[in-house]
Amino acid sequence: MLVDDEQDVLYSFHAALTNIGYDVETFSDSQEALKRFSEVGRSHFGLVILDVRMPGLNGLELYTRLKSINRNVKILFVSALDVVPELVSIFPDVKQDDILRKPVSTEAFMNAVREVRSF
């Protein structure tokens, strides 16, 4: 699952992931993403990639809600904001490697996805 309010980011990440065989659902609205996550069950999504700053329900709020549904869901943050220290201190299970800073190269993005998925 990809959640970002920027369509070009969704397109780029979606293309990169589907090119190597991942099934990907994209959402530009975090409320819609939460609704879908709730509907399909706990194990449907192997990884959720979230933007931090989005209108309405932001990435941090969405993270908290997704974790309340499935505490084992793997989440990768992608943000233009320099939020690494804050996220790591607020959410103890978030590691520095779980946060990518935009703009991020396709190679760095894919490496992070592979790393998160390997655990």
What local confidence, expressed as pLDDT, does residue 119 receive?
A: 60
- Predicted confidence (pLDDT) at residue 41 exceeds the cutoff of 80: no
Query: What number is the average pLDDT over the span 107-119?
Result: 89
What local confidence, expressed as pLDDT, does residue 92 receive?
A: 87
Burial of 81 (0-12, 13-18, 19+ CB in 10 A): middle
Question: H/E element holding 75?
Answer: strand 75-79
pTM reported for the whole predicted model: 0.93
Across-strand partners of 101? 79
Complete domains list, the chain, with CATH: 2-117 (3.40.50.2300)
